[in-house]
Structure 1
Amino acid sequence: MTTAPRHDHEHHAHDHDHDHAPDPTIYRTPADAAAAPPEKLAYLVGFDRTAQRPDALFTLDTDPASASYGRVLHVSEVPGLGDELHHFGWNACSSALAHAGHHHAERRWLLAPGLRSSRIHVFDTHPDPARPRLVRTIEAAELVDKAGYSRPHTLHCGPDGVLLSCLGGAHGADGPGGVALLDHDTFDVLRAWETDRGPQRLAYDVWWHLRHDIAVTSEWGTPSMIEDGVDPELLLGRKYGHALHFWELGTGRHLQRVDLGDAHQMTLELRPAHDPKASWGFVGVVVNVEDLSASVWLWHREDGGRFAVRKVITIPAEPAKTDDLPPALRPFGAVPPLITDINLSVDDRRLYVSAWGTGELFQYDVSDPFHPRRTASVRLGGVVDHAPHPAAPDLPLSGGPQMVEISRDGRRVYVTNSLYGSWDDQFYPDGVEPWLAKFDVDPVRGGLVPDPRFFPHGAEFQGRRVHQVRLQGGDASSDSYCFI
């Protein structure tokens, strides 16, 4: 195990010759990305729920021909305690092609924010991609001083910088949350991205349609609303987020708020179409407080240019015996599916939906995005079932399919099992032992086949829970494309 030291600002920025050939993983089209060689490495973040040891970035071997396939190759720890590394992402992606000054961008640095600490960690995957080095830690004070935000959550490389969604205001205040803009090259926090936020107050995800100059943001809750788990009073009072916001991407000006209805609590993951001509996308909704169902909604642009939404997938709650339920669910007598992540394949053909509560991963054919068709599902974990993996049939699993990532060619799907420490504890009070699973997908017929050779779990992660996966060379949720 190695823990890289924190370096001064001068040592982390680009140190390569800008006249060299462009990074081959900065793909011009979705088809180029899908045709590229498969990933040989995966990166994922792990956090210590007890905050007694540092959180870490893990490197895993995803090359089936390798003797260490499915194993952790390297662990790089961060310097502090209690960060709760959560979402993370690449510094550069295909959207760099939309900006004249970034044709030589490199998909090289991984930025990993701490959702609890508000620190941002910068890992360099060069010169050895299997052994990333921590080269900078951006302290919470810089995020507050420059952008007025805290609790960084999701980041994506955009045409004018790295856009980082944040749940909290200055010093963890309860809002408004929003988006911070970071410099592409130095990773310095520049400012708040929004110039006119309109009615937006709650934050979660941010994505965009590059060729339409449209950004989209979703809503979860402020730090106090999520810090200690789901607040039943706030949930039943319909106080969590239930709207989408549409913005002018280039200026940060709010254009439109679309309300899904306050019964639909927590509009989380945004997955816009990869086709740069398209102006539609999917958003997952965690729970309907009227019947505990979960849902996926489609946003789309109408003839007049305004955006509208429609519910296209509903997953019902599953009845359960009271004694089988954690205390938080016993009053309801059922397990809510809890859609906590969705992901869209690069060819915009297949949508994957994680039902973290019931422990099910769904696959849908969304060739017609207005009419998804379910094509497969698998069970792992779950509040009641604790369904095992084929590689360990006698091991009941805690957690369930949560963050889901898809390879660029759509043939491999990876899922992790931890949501957020305090929420894990509510729904899985006996603890969440970490695991990462991989499923193979037939490119023509679809389907989800568990890979019995790829199931790192338990001690492999040294007591840390794992949340999100990123793939070497990019993945389905890393890039937005500008060209056709």
Structure 2
Amino acid sequence: MALWKPDPTFYPSPRDAASAPPEKLAYVAAFDRAAEKPDAIAVLDTDPDSSSYGRVVGWTDLPHLGDELHHFGWNACSSALCPGAPHPHVERRYLIVPGLRSSRIYVIDTKADPRSPEVVKVLEPEELAERAGYSRPHTVHCGPEGLYVSALGGAGGEDGPGGIALLDHTSFEVLGRWEVDRGPQHFAYDFWWHIAHDVLVTSEWGTPSMIEDGVVGELLLGRKYGHSLHFFDLRKRRHIQTIDLGDQYQMALELRPAHDPTKQYGFASVVVDVEDLSASVWLWYKDGAEFAVKKVITIPAEPADPASLPPVIAPFGAVPPLITDIDLSVDDEYLYVSAWGTGELKRYDVSDPFNPVEAGSVRIGGIVDRTPHPAKPDLPLAGGPQMVEVSRDGKRVYVTNSLYGSWDDQFYPDGVGAWAAKLDSGEKFTFDERFFPHGEDFRGRRPHQVRLQGGDASSDSYCFP
């Protein structure tokens, strides 16, 4: 009698994941802003013993133009071991890669040759619209019973409501809209869950017309972007609670729940406070029968000569930090916060989540500073730490510099460039000078999200403590 053996990259608990072997490759979504060349998945060598360490060693062009790859995820992960809906026969093999501008979703197989992934299926926007009523797919998470994909727009790119579509694990067909009762939720962006407690959390950005051509100043100053968190019953798929952070806190984006499945707290980032241009991180936590929030990190804007600023922020005479990503280590000890505007990546000790303590900071890029990488001290860099991904053992942190094409152009109008970097996170928090793919290494594309071979800190959820 044959026995199924679960994928060796699935781990019952965060502790097991943190003791797993290190990644050897990283996959990076890279897009062509001009839509003249196809977007691509670049493969980086992350094995420090390799002769090609820190370089692009694989490349897969997509078959269409103008997708604007953004966030992507694995088809399956450690949640497949959860007792409520176990799927131990699936494997972490496919990358599910949405095009934020085209509304296509690509299925890319990494198994046969991990350095040369192959496009094996393309879901056209019509299928997402017809089956789920959504467009502009954004974030992918592997759940125990299917693939969850958030979407910013309604069918045909309409201005909402956005929400979550569910895809089949095996066929990758769109099953339908996830929500049975969305309540007042209209804007969509990120989502995550407390899987052992049947709670799903969502955040808010805006509808397609609010984001596709850049930040709309009237909407921002009018406090019209998203500023709430929504809580759903994960099994009943019904809205149960809304928490409004306050309309001065514009664009409540990234969500990072505790990896420990016994805990019900997590961190949410806010891009900008329109009253002082600061950025912030909020803690959500269970308080009795409901959830509550507390602002636990504030990063102030930095004064600057208006002549050195792009037109979008020149009138303010300051550089907003613009928190555009956060990532929580698998052991729930450190939170990494990327301030894309000032070019800073901060590390916080969040072992007490109510009272984070800064535990390291580096600078690279930035709207004003243009801080170089230590490997190329004479090369000023545009962009800043944007997407941030942490290895399962928490020792390595990867960052890329591009946010979103139209927003890149607003904040870095002279060009955002293209680069990725790696930091070593231990007693010290420092750049790895051997790891700096940049410029034409990315063949004229802009790198965005990173996924690590075998999983990373933001791809898996665990069902055992």
Aligned-residue offset at 1:65: 0.3
The correspondence for 2:73, drawn from 83, 89, 93, is 89
SS in structure 2 at match of 1:269: strand
Mapped partners of 2:274, 2:145: distance in 1: 39
Q: Percent same amino acid at aligned positions?
A: 69
Does 2:62 align with 1:78? yes
The equivalent residue for 1:164 is: 149
Distance 1:125-1:19 versus aligned 2 partners, 3 A rule:
farther
The answer for the alignment partner of 1:363 in structure 2 is 347
Using the alignment, how far apart are the partners of 1:455 and 1:68 within structure 2? 12
Contact between 1:434 and 1:466, CA under 8 Å: does it hold in 2? yes
Alignment counterpart, residue 373 of structure 2, candidates 378, 389, 414: 389
- Cα offset for 1:127? 1.5
Partner of 2:14: 30
Contact 2:86 2:144 in 1 (8 A): no
Instruction: Provide the residue aligned with 1:11 in structure 2.
Output: none
Superimposed CA distance per residue, residues 101-137 of structure 1 (whole angstroms, 9 cap, x where no aligned partner) = 5112200000100000000011001122121111011
2:166 touches 2:176 (CA, 8 Å); kept in 1?
yes
Whole-Å separation in 2 of the counterparts to 1:159 and 1:230: 36
Q: Does 1:152 align with 2:137?
A: yes
Query: Hey, what's the Cα distance between the residues in 1 that align with 2:14 and 2:2?
Result: 25
Matches within 5 A, 1:237-276: 237-276=222-261
Q: By how many angstroms is 1:300 displaced?
A: 0.2
CA distance in 2, matches of 1:410, 1:134: 30
Paired residue for 2:414, among 421, 430, 433?
A: 430
8 A Cα contact 2:28 2:448, kept in partner: yes
Distance, in Å, in 2 between the alignment partners of 1:341 and 1:473 is 21
Distance 2:441 2:75 in 1: 27
SS in 2 for 1:290: coil
- In the alignment, which residue of structure 2 is the partner of 1:177? 162
Contact 2:87/2:145 (<8 A) preserved: no
Q: Deviations over 1:130-163 (max 9, x none)?
A: 2111101110000000000000000100122111
| 1:159-178 CA distance string (max 9 Å, x none) | 22111000000100000000
Q: 2:168 & 2:348 partners in 1: Cα distance?
A: 37
Question: Equivalents in 1 of 2:191, 2:218: separation in Å?
Answer: 27
Residue 451 of structure 2 corresponds to residue 467 of structure 1? no
Decide whether the 8 Å contact of 2:40 with 2:60 is kept in 1: yes
AA aligned to 1:57 is: I
In the alignment, what sits opposite 1:375? 359
For residue 157 of structure 1, give the secondary structure of its aligned residue in structure 2.
strand
User: CA-to-partner distance for each residue in 1:407-444, whole Å, 9 max, x for gaps?
Assistant: 000000000000000000000001111100000011xx
1:460 & 1:263 partners in 2: Cα distance? 40
- Alpha-carbon distance change, 174 to 100 in structure 1, aligned in 2, over 3 angstroms: closer
Distance 1:238 1:315 in 2: 20
TM-score between the two structures when normalised by the length of structure 1: 0.95
Match of 2:183 among 172, 190, 198: 198
Query: Which residues in structure 2 correspond to 1:290-329 (within 5 Å)?
Result: 290-303=275-288, 305-329=289-313
Q: Which residue in the other structure is 1:65 paired with?
A: 49
Q: How far has the Cα of 1:264 moved from its partner?
A: 0.2
Kept after mapping to 1: 8 A contact 2:30/2:42 = yes
Alignment partner, residue 392 of structure 2: 408
Match of 1:47 among 31, 34, 37: 31
State the 1:100 CA deviation. Answer: 3.9
Residues 245-267 of structure 1: CA distance to partner in whole angstroms, max 9, x if unpaired? 00001121000000000000000
Q: Classify the secondary structure of the residue corresponding to 1:397.
A: coil
1:425 partner amino acid: D
Match of 1:21 in 2: 5
Structure 1: distance between partners of 2:358 and 2:245: 23
Q: 1:236, 1:221 → 2: CA distance?
A: 14
Partner of 1:449: 430
Cα RMSD for the two superposed structures: 1.0
For residues 100 and 274 of structure 1, what CA distance do their matches in structure 2 show?
A: 19
| Structure 1 position 440 matched with structure 2 position 434 | no
Are 2:434 and 1:482 equivalent residues in the alignment? no
Instruction: Please state how far the C-alpha of 1:185 moved relative to its aligned partner.
Output: 1.0
Residues in 1 aligned to 2:440 and 2:366: alpha-carbon distance in whole angstroms: 20
Kindly indicate whether the alpha-carbon contact (under 8 Å) linking 2:98 and 2:104 is maintained by their aligned counterparts in 1: yes
Cα distance in 2 for residues equivalent to 1:134 and 1:97: 27
Contact 1:18 1:104 in 2 (8 A): no
Q: Distance in 2 between matches of 1:80 and 1:157?
A: 25
Residue in 2 aligned with 1:347?
331
State how far apart, in whole Å, the 1-side matches of 2:36 and 2:236 are. Answer: 42
Unaligned stretches of 5+ residues in structure 2: none
Q: CA deviation at 1:21?
A: 2.1
CA separation of 1:18/1:231 partners in 2, compared to 1, >3 Å: closer, same or farther? farther
Aligned partner of residue 102 in structure 1, secondary structure: coil
Is 1:208 aligned to residue 189 of structure 2? Answer: no
Q: Report the alpha carbon displacement of residue 302 of structure 1 after superposing the two structures with TM.
A: 0.6
Asked whether the equivalents of residues 263 and 289 of structure 1 are also in contact (C-alpha less than 8 Å), the reply is yes
Structure 1: gaps of 5 or more residues: 1-16
- In structure 1, C-alpha distance between the alignment counterparts of 2:2 and 2:414, rounded to whole Å: 52
- 2: distance between equivalents of 1:425 and 1:105? 41
2:119 alignment partner, one of 125, 134, 142: 134
Counterpart contact for 2:400–2:419, Cα < 8 Å: yes
Would the aligned equivalents of 1:355 and 1:361 in 2 still touch at CA under 8 Å? yes
Judged with a 3 Å threshold, the aligned counterparts in structure 2 of structure 1 residues 18 and 255 are, in CA distance, closer, same or farther, namely farther
SS in 2 for 1:103: coil
